[in-house]
Chain A
């Protein structure tokens, strides 16, 4: 009698395990998974391009200011001006260079955060609208090692995010 019960329990357990395995395999196969080249989407996103232009403009302006300060320092050194004046000018130059570097870093971080915030929102909207379960990011150092090109929706995503950004 006990032997029979054990056999029955074993069969039931096996059946449950098989059922769970089959269920999750089916579920995984049903999942709608696509992928994007996140680096490309980030670079070609209009907001990102606008911010890049701003950062580049800031970089150019600050470089012009630093160049002119550097030139002044060279002139002072060349004409053997007062050493204490040269020292103080040098100090101002290095301070300014540090300030510019800090602002540059701050701007880059701030803009990157803003771009990613908007991208996440638009990707979520796109995923919801198209019933995707996952949108994977294919990029260097990402854990995704292989993706089938037919599942690449980078182009579609780019059109969508740029449209949403421009107010359409």
Chain B
């Protein structure tokens, strides 16, 4: 029975919106979240189809544009990482402290991220501290790591938190989870 389910799952095809919904569902391992005290650390693994699906929410790609964009995105593993501080006293952080944190996030924090694929440790090829939302106290980061030849093996995303001093936080993407993702059907 489980084989029938998993086999049918492997071949599942989805339209972009359903694909996005599936990818952002916490039960499907591509989005993972961890709480340490008042902090919430969330990681979204983004396949090239995920990125295209996001882009096509606002504009349409022709079949050729879709293929071209997919090729452009190849060669990297993409992630969005967010840190949300749910503590009530965050707003009491001084402006100087906040400025220091933003500066750290913008210029120094890249070194705190790494991707472990089997025994290889890779540093980000692309790193962007996108924003720090004042409203919900969220720091958002966009990251991409060079894809390893042994991709689709177990991947560990590792973040050494020096922004809030909570230590190393790991997220694991198992090989079977990476292989079980549905296919995006783009028309």
A-side residues, CB < 8 A to B, are 47, 50-51, 110-111, 113-115, 117-118, 120-121, 165-168
Contacts and interface: CB of A to CB of B under 8 A. Distances in A.
A115 B172 contact: no
Contact of B172 (A51, A117, A121, A166): A166
The 7 closest A-B pairs by CB, nearest first: A114-B167, A167-B172, A167-B170, A121-B36, A167-B171, A117-B166, A118-B167
A102 B165 CA distance: 19
Which of A114, A121, A166 has the largest number of chain B CB atoms within 10 A?
A: A114
B38 to A, nearest CB: 10
- Main SS at interface, chain A: helix
B35 interface: yes
A114 B165 contact: yes
A111 B162 CA distance: 11
B37 A117 contact: yes
Nearest to B158: A167
A47 B167 contact: yes
A126 to B, nearest CB: 13
Contacts of A111: 167
Contact of A117 (B32, B156, B157, B167): B167
20 contacts: A50-B168, A111-B167, A113-B165, A114-B161, A114-B165, A114-B166, A114-B167, A117-B36, A117-B37, A117-B166, A120-B37, A121-B35, A165-B168, A165-B170, A166-B156, A166-B172, A167-B32, A167-B171, A167-B172, A168-B172
Contacts of B170: 165-167
A47 B166 CA distance: 11
A57 to B, nearest CB: 15
Interface residues of B, number: 14
Contacts, number: 37
A121 B167 contact: no
A14 to B, nearest CB: 46
B165 A110 contact: yes
Interface in B33-90: 35-37
Contacts of B161: 114
User: Which of B32, B36, B157 has the most chain A CB atoms closer than 10 A to its own CB?
Assistant: B36
A110 B165 CA distance: 8
Contacts of A168: 172
B156 A167 contact: yes
Nearest to B36: A121
Interface in B13-29: none
B37 A121 contact: yes
Nearest to B155: A167
A51 B168 CA distance: 10
Contacts of A120: 37
Given A110-B165, A114-B165, A166-B156, 18 more contacts: A47-B167, A50-B168, A51-B167, A114-B166, A114-B167, A117-B36, A117-B37, A118-B36, A118-B167, A120-B37, A121-B36, A165-B168, A166-B172, A167-B32, A167-B170, A167-B171, A167-B172, A168-B172
